[in-house]
Structure 1
Amino acid sequence: MATERTCNEPTAPEFRQEIDVVARTRRRLIQGLGVSACAWAWAWPASANDYPSKPIELIVPASAGGGTDALSRLFAEVAKNRLPQPFVVNNKPGASGAIGMSEVVSSRADGYKLCMIIAEVTTLPSLGLAKFDHTRFEPIARLNADPAAITVRADAPWNTLEEFLDAAKKQAGTTKLGNAGSGSVYHLSAIGLEDKVGVKFNHIPYSGAAPAVVALLGGHIDALDVSPAEVAPHVKGGKLKILGIMATERLAAFASVPTFKERHIDLALGTWRGLAAPKGAPGAVIDVLRTAARRVSEDPAFRNGLDKSNLGFAYLDAPEFAQAMQRDHEYFGQLIRKNGIKI
């Protein structure tokens, strides 16, 4: 999505000036603490002042066509006006995001391979599906958050969430409910629904939301647990219908769809996505990326792109992002242990 630079948008040199201010502030702070020149050289590599000097690879741990992919490509497009080098998006789906995220965790921490990490980074470790957790990343910024939703084909016999759940209860364990992968937030939100209403589904995992949506369109599953954003085009096209959203308030883009809370089901779960680097990336590099992410989040082109894709804006800077991940890690760990979930 091409955008035009407005007169208020910083050019690459102006952006570099802002980063240089950050660098000088950090330098004065460290020197004021009596850090030796040798230690300073270790803490702030000379090359950091030139970062980025080549394209940055952005690993997307999900299939092309889904919400994570859409967000990543939108971010990369808008960021062209914010950094002197581009982001190159590379999809690495599979294992509920573990494949792509694992690749970044094990990569060189120089700022040239980043990840659009997803909420599954807080679920996979407790399920024994990943040897890493959120603490193996350097958080940069959270960019988006969306609730989960139950979606069915437009010609399905259920027109309300209650009708769907009543039918699923009568056919315990046979209703095929698709998700974006075993251990994904959408898988766990479906298990949370089972726990709340006393129903049992036949969970069908896919390698991301996009192939799961295709499966629903093809009639291979009965229903789907993913975000509204990932089914929005087909809902607007009359092929799918959303029965309920796992949120406390209705979404503006889906104002006619009731929340679970309205249906007396106390369940509000969903996903989020954010930018992160491998643990150990230089602080100078993280500062550059945090500034760029903040600039992108403030850009009208980014906000408009989110709206067009029905993705929720939910920016958090690095410290708050880290705290949010820790809270989710604790919540999902408790949910997994309580229900004895094993994959």
Structure 2
Amino acid sequence: MTTDTAIQNTISRRTAVSLLALGACGSARQAWAQAADYPHRPVELVVAYGAGGGTDVLARAFSDSARKHISQPLTVINKPGASGSIGLTDVLNAKPDGYKIAMLTVELTTLPHVGVIKFSHDDFAPIVLLNADPAAITVKADAPWNTIEEFLAAAKKAPGEVRVGNSGAASIWHLAAAALGDKTGTSFNHIPYPGAGPAVLALLGGHIEAVSVSAAEVTAHVNSGKLKILATMADKRVKGFESAPTLKERGIDLSISSWRGLGAPKNTPPEILAVLKNTAIKTVAEPAFREIMDKQNMGFVFGDEAAFKAVMVRDSTYYKNLITRLNIKLV
């Protein structure tokens, strides 16, 4: 899975056109007038995972850089648990007034297909897409495996014993490892955590043998020499980790990525969504935001609400088929 190249590294033409139209028509001016006092209090930006993971890092970088472009703080609130469903449910049930929004993740297109949540991407209003990152298989630096082939060979010798941590059952990182097992005929012991950060800490502590989170989420520990990436699930080598091969280079035809973006409850007024989108457009142009993204090796991918919606529709179909084919169920 890869994010459409048409929305990579640029603000879409559709976004620019829509904003011009917004300023040109009288009805839009009236809508802006109705939102003139928004926001008049802090806006909660809910992260459905624990601190330290990629979603949390992105949310905090965005919040910090947005300060000069919105009149009230975007306060990051971590609400982890149940593979992200606790935080998503909290936002979904909030009053659709723009004061509680979410950092949506690709899990919104996976969890409905295993029955963890009774809602889907259709229940949220997409604002902007901000990021996409491929999965990576990472182990401790002193692990006995230096290649993905050695790691898979060891796992095949002990079916179901090699523990691979993820950010929750049916999360994108669980599905990434499950798909790798399916492609290679390997059985892993999938260990769920309330986010990528806790999974990485478990790996550092020697409680598991590997994680299947993104390269961005292990950046600091790889750079410090504590962890090493055996392979990424990307179409091409990941910036900052050019020494790590892709699975495709190793003859394993598998490419799976996460994505993250801003969303709000479905019935949030369009004028409020427009304020948030306009804020996001200005925020992602901030050098400080891009510097953090680069430092963390997080892939910057911008898409307006229509492009973001298209990504969600596409991935929902893909993961529904994958989950059905692998017969993934929660126990």
**TM-score, normalised relative to structure 1:** 0.88
Q: Distance in 2 between matches of 1:187 and 1:166?
A: 20
Aligned: 1:124 with 2:111? yes
Q: Distance in 1 between matches of 2:253 and 2:44?
A: 40
The superposition leaves residues 256-307 of structure 1 with CA deviations (integer Å, 9 ceiling, x where unpaired) of 1101111011111021110011001001011111111111122222111101
Counterparts of 1:213-252 in structure 2 under 5 Å?
213-252=200-239
- Partner SS for 2:36: helix
The superposition leaves residues 68-126 of structure 1 with CA deviations (integer Å, 9 ceiling, x where unpaired) of 11100000000001111110111001111111011001110000100001110000000
Partner of 1:326: 313
Identify the match of residue 323 of structure 2 among 323, 333, 336: 336
Partner of 2:263: 276
Q: CA deviation at 1:340?
A: 1.1
Amino acid at match of 1:310: N
Kept after mapping to 2: 8 A contact 1:177/1:201 = yes
Q: Distance in 2 between matches of 1:45 and 1:248?
A: 42
Identify the match of residue 88 of structure 2 among 101, 111, 114: 101
Q: Distance in 1 between matches of 2:329 and 2:22?
A: 47
Q: Structure 1 stretches (4+) deviating beyond 3 angstroms?
A: 19-30, 44-47
Q: Which moved more, 1:237-246 or 1:21-30?
A: 21-30
Partner of 1:27: 26
Partner of 2:198: 211
Kept after mapping to 1: 8 A contact 2:164/2:190 = yes
Partner of 1:75: 62
Question: What stretches of structure 1 of length at least 5 have no aligned partner?
Answer: 1-18, 31-39
Aligned: 1:159 with 2:158? no
Q: CA deviation at 1:49?
A: 2.1
- Partner SS for 2:328: coil
The 1:282–1:199 alpha-carbon spacing in structure 2 relative to 1, beyond 3 Å, is same
Q: Distance in 1 between matches of 2:297 and 2:251?
A: 25
Q: CA deviation at 1:20?
A: 11
Partner of 1:302: 289
Q: Give RMSD over aligned pairs.
A: 1.8
Amino acid at match of 1:228: A
Amino acid at match of 1:327: R
Larger of the two Rg values belongs to structure: 1
Amino acid at match of 1:333: K
Kept after mapping to 2: 8 A contact 1:23/1:284 = no
Partner of 2:7: none
Kept after mapping to 1: 8 A contact 2:34/2:271 = no
Q: Distance in 2 between matches of 1:29 and 1:115?
A: 25
The 1:21–1:193 alpha-carbon spacing in structure 2 relative to 1, beyond 3 Å, is closer
Kept after mapping to 2: 8 A contact 1:20/1:49 = no
**TM-score, normalised relative to structure 2:** 0.91
Identify the match of residue 137 of structure 2 among 150, 154, 157: 150
Question: Identity percentage over the alignment?
Answer: 51
Q: CA deviation at 1:25?
A: 3.7
Question: What stretches of structure 2 of length at least 5 have no aligned partner?
Answer: 1-17
Q: Distance in 2 between matches of 1:169 and 1:278?
A: 44
The 1:156–1:24 alpha-carbon spacing in structure 2 relative to 1, beyond 3 Å, is closer
Partner of 2:48: 61
The 1:24–1:152 alpha-carbon spacing in structure 2 relative to 1, beyond 3 Å, is closer
Kept after mapping to 2: 8 A contact 1:22/1:287 = no
The 1:82–1:172 alpha-carbon spacing in structure 2 relative to 1, beyond 3 Å, is same
Q: Distance in 2 between matches of 1:149 and 1:239?
A: 16
Partner of 1:168: 155
Partner of 2:254: 267
Q: Distance in 2 between matches of 1:190 and 1:324?
A: 21
Q: Distance in 1 between matches of 2:286 and 2:142?
A: 40
Q: Distance in 2 between matches of 1:104 and 1:266?
A: 36
Q: CA deviation at 1:162?
A: 0.2
The 1:265–1:309 alpha-carbon spacing in structure 2 relative to 1, beyond 3 Å, is same
The 1:174–1:20 alpha-carbon spacing in structure 2 relative to 1, beyond 3 Å, is closer
